[in-house]
Structure formats: structure tokens, C-alpha cells
Amino acid sequence: MADMTANAPVLEGPSGPKPRRRFSRRNIFLYGTLIVVSMYYLLPLYVMVVTSLKGMPEIRLGNIFSPPMEITYEPWVKAWAEACTGINCDGLSRGFMNSVQILVPSVVLSIAIASVNGYALANWRFKGSEVFFTILIIGAFIPYQTMLYPIVIMLREIGLMGSIWGLVLVHTVFGMPILTLLFRNYFTSIPEELFKAARVDGAGFWGIYLRIMVPMSLPIFVVAMILQVTGIWNDFLFGVIYTKPETYPMTVQLNNIVNSVQGIKEYNVNMAATLLTGLVPLIIYFVSGKLFVRGIAAGAVKG
Amino acid sequence: MNSVEIKNLDLSFGSVKVLQNLNLDIGQGEFIVLLGSSGCGKSTLLNCIAGLLDVTGGQIHINGKNVTWAEPSERGIGMVFQSYALYPQMTVEKNLSFGLRNAKMPKDEIDARVARAAEILQIQPLLNRKPGALSGGQRQRVAIGRALVRDVDVFLFDEPLSNLDAKLRADLRVEIKRLHGQLQNTMIYVTHDQIEAMTLADRIAIMKGGKIMQLGSPHEIYNRPQNLYVADFIGSPSMNFIKGDLSGGTFRAGDMVIPVDGYDFAEGTKREGAAIFGVRPEHIATGDALASAPIRTQVTVDLVEPMGADTLIYSSIAGTPVHIRMDGQAVVRKGDTVEIGINPKDASLFDPDSELRL
């Protein structure tokens, strides 16, 4: 009998892991593409940051790629607190506060309603639930522009035209189709037996939702939150139509600062203002990027 | 009083009839197994009893109460699922007590019941763990515990062992049987595994196409199958069927003649005409057992499958391929000639038209 533990003699030829060349054609192509693409996206950002830290005399020299000779934070302060839009000269800070006041209730409301919608559609099939879902999804494909004026009339009739709550309502409604789809698909991927077990255990509609479904669905809530925060924060169209100058969100105010035709163009202030406006979605992506990918993948594979 | 009574139950999804006019009475403390291949409606029936599906017609009574319209939690049932269905974010203890907390039971009562269930199932060391940190067998034990704490009269099992590996399945099977002996509850158990059905059941209901094909003790089902489907379904490898004719107390197929003296005919069935003769591989005698078999013949071995405890031979009788189970110690090779014997007492005869037992 052969001794199973003895070492067999190593023969000539390949043995162990296959050696790989560091600068293979594949690697050069792969990393080359990655570097070119990241340059393409990062260069404008670099120009913006650099310009926002320069004084106007330095900008007029025209070397947009050169780093600032003398770093100044003056443009940032001006963009935040002093830039003028029309008769208001308190910078973007007012728009920031408005945007926060629009953002928080819109995100909370739309996610709360859409998750219950998705849960009901996934687990409590009722007569006509498929039709209801189809109608909701069709809503996602209708261009917003066609609905602008009817909404103006509706908001006027209920007395919310021009107010922050009017805009909150609009954002909540327009978030419904895609968020409901997102939640429905996620809840459908949760094993049905879990839902059945909870019913046998005597939990009702809300009991199952709050104590079984929600605790299992953190990733999809994060995805929904990211989608809504970036979507609502970056919204310009609804903001400019359904609010008035005192309640303009940050994006509308940014536009008014950048596109203002009076006086000289302060490129450094414009850059700083744009960066400030983009900061919120940027931070959200950096903080929750990993969860975002995980949640999207979870919904994608099983949805 | 019967524990569970199902009366004229119908269930359809749109135009698809899953259950049709189904009647079933289950006695107090009985262990009943619903057995059938996938799509036969056995799990659907269980879901109807649990109240997880609304029935299209008929009634369900549990402990003398008509529960046809009652919520699952009000029916006095506990249910164990194939995928365990434990709540992943709760500890084992919270999983066990979830139903009791929903019922707003006092805390000491909950603790006492959880402790008792944990003791019976020997899962006390696991109470503070989450389901993710448990093995498959432990999870299924917790799932059984969740039904146990509810102190219900009827346990429903939906293929509870199908996700476990073979050894664990055998262990837990014995444990479920022991649990039934200890608790004396009514248990309704759905499976597609005939070994589970045979070993656990007081009575087996074999289902096909939403109907019960035969309801009887494992012994009856195995020895006196009422129709071709049941005969073919139970037993592995399945029963050998030989087509032929019945006349004057003998069954003829090709040059094979089998006198069927000793065969216990069902009442009121025909004694003449076309028939199917069925005999199980393990009821074909070889070697020493030949002495007790009145009919003998010689067959040629086409293929041999040694399985250790016994050896399976592929051969043919009157042109029909048959399986024969021999003692595992027998020495046979392909091409050998083996003498076999059949006792009509162990055989089954079927009418080829109605597929019913003669």
C-alpha cells in the first residue's frame, strides 16, 4: 500500500501558481483606461477648486491649471454669506437653509410612504394590485414638463403654491414610482415564508412591516435615501417653478448668482458657490457609497 | 371529536384548480403525512389549513370550531417551514417569544414557556444567538420551538427536513417522532420523501393533482396500494408492473403463467380480462427464500447494482424489464441466470383501464 503522507517527487515543468507579468498588455490597457477616465472627470473639479482659491487678479492671468500663488478663502465666504441675487445680498446661506427645509421632510415622507407601498404590493396582494403598480410605474416614464402646469393649478387650489410645503408635496409625489418599484422588488426578494411565519405568529400589517421587514431592509433604505437626497437637492426645475425668491432652494439661488448679468463675473465666487451646492450629495456618496452598491446589487440580483 | 376536519375544500388560482372537493378527517393526536410529488397540492392544502391562503370553497374545522375565515394566529396552529423562516434580526429567544409578545402575554408566562420549549428541544445554550450563527439543524429546532411555545393543538410541518443533509435529516426525523410521542399533539406533515412519510406517519395521504389518491396506514399503503399511482409512487426502486391477461384464476403474460390462488381480491372487481400484475423488487424471492414462493422461473441478469445491504438486479420477465432485490451477500454477475420466485399473496393486481386495484 502506498503511504498517503509521503511527499511525491516534484517533476520538471510548471508547479504552483502561474507567474504573471506585471506590465502585461491587459494591465496596461486596464489601468490606462482607468487613468484617462478619472482624469476626464477629475480635471474640471481640480480647475474649480483651484479657481475658487484664487483672487480675481490671478484668474485674469488666464492660467486655469496652475495652482494658486496666494490662497484666499475670500470667494468662499462671499459665496456663502455676501453674494447678491436680486435685492438679497446674504449669499447662498439662505438657499442652503431652504434646501434643508425642503429636503428633510421630502426624503422622510417619500421613503416612508413608498416603503409601505412597496411592502403592500409585495406581500399583501389585493385585487387590482398589479394594475395599480403598472399605473404607478407608467408615471415614471411621463416627462415632468407635461405635468408642470397642472401641478401649478393644483398647488394654487390647495394654497401651497410658492411655499416650501408645496415643493415637499411635489417631491414626495414624484419620488413615488421609482421608490415604490425599488422597495417592492426588495421586499419580494425577502422569503415569503418569513412573512407567513409572522402571520402565524399573530403579527398584523404594521407589526410585520415594522418588526420584520424594516429591520431586514437597511440597505434598500440607504439606497432610497441616497437617491432622494441627491435627486431633491439637485432639483432645479420644480424649485424654480413652485417656489418664490424667499423660498428658493440652493440650486435656484446658485443659478441666480452665476448667471447674474450685472457687474463683473466673479469666477472664483461662482466656483466656490457651485462647490458648496454640490457638497451635500458628494458627502452622502462618500459616507454611504459601500452600502449604496450593496443595496443596488441586492435589489438587482433578486428583484 | 376530530382534531382537524376538511370538508369539500376547493381552491383555485384563477382557472387553475389546485384542490378539488377535498375531504379529510384527522383524529386527535394523530400524525398525518401528506405525501406527493411537487405540484400535487400538498403544501397548498397545508397553507389552507394554516389560513395563509383563502379557500375558494368548503370549510375547515379545527377542534370543532369552524375556522374557515379565521386569521392564522386564531386557529390554534403552529407552523414549521422548510426554509426555517426565522426572523434574522432577532435572537433565538426573541424568535421564540415573538408570537407570544404579539398576543400580549404577561412576561413571566412568556419566559416560562420559552424555557420549557428550550428544554424540550435542548436549545438553552443558543437562546442569545442570532439565527445566522446557528447550524441548519439548530435552526430547524428553533423553528419547531416557535410552534411549541404557542401551546397549540395542531402542528403543521411544511417539508421541514428538506434543507438538511442526509444524516441530520435522519436524526431530526427520529426527534420529531419522539416529540410527537411526548406531546401527543396532532401533527400534519408535508413531504415528498417517502421514507419520512413511512417512518413518521400514523396515516399517509398520498396526493396527486389536488386529490387524495389513498389515505391509510404506512402498512396499508405499502402492501395494499389502491391504485397504480400509489403502487408506483411508494417503494424505491418502484414496483415492477407486468401487463397481461387474467382468466380462470391465472395471470398470463407472454409465456409466463402465474396462478393467482392466494391473492386477496378486492370486493366487486373483475376476475377476467386485461390486468397489470405488480410485484415489488423486494418481494421477488431468491436464494433461501425461494422455498416459500409457489411460482418459480429463471431470469438472466442484465445489470447488477451492489448497494451494500442488498444488491439490485436488472432483468426482464416476459419481455418487461424488472428490478429484483437480492441479499447483499449474494454473488451475481452480469449474464448469470438466477432462479426467482413470486408469491401472489405479496403481489398487486390492477385494472389497466381504471388503474384501480383488483
Mean pLDDT to the nearest integer, B209-218: 93
B77 to chain A, closest Cα gap in Å: 8
Q: Are B54 and B62 spatial neighbours (Cβ–Cβ below 8 Å)? A: no
CA distance B46 to B27: 16
A48 and A103 belong to one structural domain: no
A47 and A172 belong to one structural domain: no
In a domain, A2, yes or no: no
In a domain, A1, yes or no: no
Mean pLDDT to the nearest integer, B217-221: 95
The residue written with cell numbers 443659478 in the block is A255
Pairing of strands B77-80, B154-158: parallel
Mean pLDDT to the nearest integer, A257-276: 85
Half-sphere CA count of A264, side-chain side, radius 13 A:
8
> Of A37, A72, A107, which residue constitutes the final position of a domain?
A72
A109 interfaces chain B, CB cutoff of 8 Å: no
A209 and A104 belong to one structural domain: yes
pLDDT band of residue A118 (cuts 50, 70, 90) is: very high
pLDDT band of residue A302 (cuts 50, 70, 90) is: very low
pLDDT band of residue A222 (cuts 50, 70, 90) is: confident
Range of the domain at A105: 99-250+280-302
A164 and A209 belong to one structural domain: yes
Residue A2 has pLDDT above 60, yes or no: no
A298 and A173 belong to one structural domain: yes
Contacting residues of A for B153, CB less than 8 Å apart: none
CA distance A157 to A24: 67
A179 to chain B, closest Cα gap in Å: 24
The partner residues of B321 in beta bridges, in order of sequence, read B316
pLDDT recorded at residue A182: 92
* Mean per-residue pLDDT over chain A, rounded: 87
In a domain, A256, yes or no: no
pLDDT (tens digit per residue) in B163-200 = 888 888 998 999 999 999 998 999 999 999 999 999 99
CA distance B337 to B327: 16
A41 and A158 belong to one structural domain: no
pLDDT band of residue A292 (cuts 50, 70, 90) is: low
* Mean per-residue pLDDT over chain B, rounded: 91
C-alpha grid cell, residue B210: 389536488
In a domain, A44, yes or no: yes
- If one counts every other C-beta atom within 10 angstroms of the C-beta of residue B82, the result is 20
The answer to pTM > 0.95 is: no
pLDDT recorded at residue A263: 73
A105 and A177 belong to one structural domain: yes
pLDDT (tens digit per residue) in A17-43 = 888 777 888 889 999 999 999 999 999
Q: Which amino acid is at B258?
A: I
Mean pLDDT to the nearest integer, B18-37: 93
> What CATH number is associated with residue A117?
1.10.3720.10
Disruptive mutation site among B52, B74, B140 for chain A (greatest number of A CBs within 10 Å): B52
Taking only residues 178 to 237 of chain A, the set having a beta carbon closer than 8 angstroms to any beta carbon of chain B reads 191, 193-194, 196-203, 207, 211-212, 215-216
Please state, for a pLDDT cut of 90, what percent of chain B lies above it: 60
Element (H, E) at B10: strand B4-13
Disruptive mutation site among B79, B113, B154 for chain A (greatest number of A CBs within 10 Å): B79
A124 to chain B, closest Cα gap in Å: 11
Residue B102 has its nearest CB partner, among A193, A203, A216, at A203
DSSP character for B126?
Answer: G
Provide the 3-class DSSP secondary structure of residue B327: strand
* φ and ψ of B271, to 5 deg: -115, -5
A60 and A187 belong to one structural domain: no
B274 to chain A, closest Cα gap in Å: 48
CA distance B298 to B322: 13
pLDDT (tens digit per residue) in B50-84 = 999 999 999 999 999 999 999 999 999 999 998 88
In a domain, A205, yes or no: yes
Residue A55 has pLDDT above 60, yes or no: yes
A57 interfaces chain B, CB cutoff of 8 Å: no
A55 and A115 belong to one structural domain: no
pLDDT recorded at residue A5: 67
Q: Are B151 and B163 spatial neighbours (Cβ–Cβ below 8 Å)? A: no
pLDDT band of residue A7 (cuts 50, 70, 90) is: confident
pLDDT recorded at residue A250: 92
pLDDT recorded at residue B67: 93
pLDDT recorded at residue A301: 41
Residue B102 has its nearest CB partner, among A193, A196, A202, at A202
pLDDT band of residue A303 (cuts 50, 70, 90) is: very low
A238 and A120 belong to one structural domain: yes
pLDDT recorded at residue A4: 64
pLDDT recorded at residue A136: 87
Angle at CA of residue A200, ends B151 and B91, nearest 5°: 80
Residue A1 has pLDDT above 60, yes or no: no
Burial of A59 (C-beta count, 10 Å sphere; 0-12/13-18/19+)? buried
pLDDT (tens digit per residue) in A56-77 = 888 888 888 888 888 888 889 9
Q: Are A267 and A253 spatial neighbours (Cβ–Cβ below 8 Å)? A: no
Residues with Cβ within 8 Å of residue A252, at least 6 apart in sequence: A95, A236, A239, A240, A243
A126 interfaces chain B, CB cutoff of 8 Å: no
B146 to chain A, closest Cα gap in Å: 9
Question: Which domains does chain B possess?
Answer: 4-229 (3.40.50.300), 239-350 (2.40.50.140)
Please state, for a pLDDT cut of 70, what percent of chain B lies above it: 100
Mean pLDDT to the nearest integer, B140-155: 91
In a domain, A33, yes or no: yes
DSSP character for B240?
Answer: E
pLDDT (tens digit per residue) in B241-299 = 999 999 888 888 887 888 888 888 888 888 888 999 999 999 998 888 888 888 888 89
In a domain, A210, yes or no: yes
CA distance B313 to B334: 9
Residue B79 has its nearest CB partner, among A200, A211, A212, at A200
The partner residues of B300 in beta bridges, in order of sequence, read B337
B98 interfaces chain A, CB cutoff of 8 Å: yes
A146 and A292 belong to one structural domain: yes
In total, how many domains does chain A have? Answer: 2
Residue B310 has pLDDT above 80, yes or no: yes
* φ and ψ of A203, to 5 deg: -85, 140
In a domain, A187, yes or no: yes
pLDDT band of residue B221 (cuts 50, 70, 90) is: very high
- If one counts every other C-beta atom within 10 angstroms of the C-beta of residue A98, the result is 21
Mean pLDDT to the nearest integer, A207-224: 90
* φ and ψ of B310, to 5 deg: -145, 170
CA distance A290 to A268: 33
pLDDT (tens digit per residue) in A119-174 = 999 998 888 888 998 998 888 888 888 989 999 999 999 998 888 999 999 999 99
A145 and A206 belong to one structural domain: yes
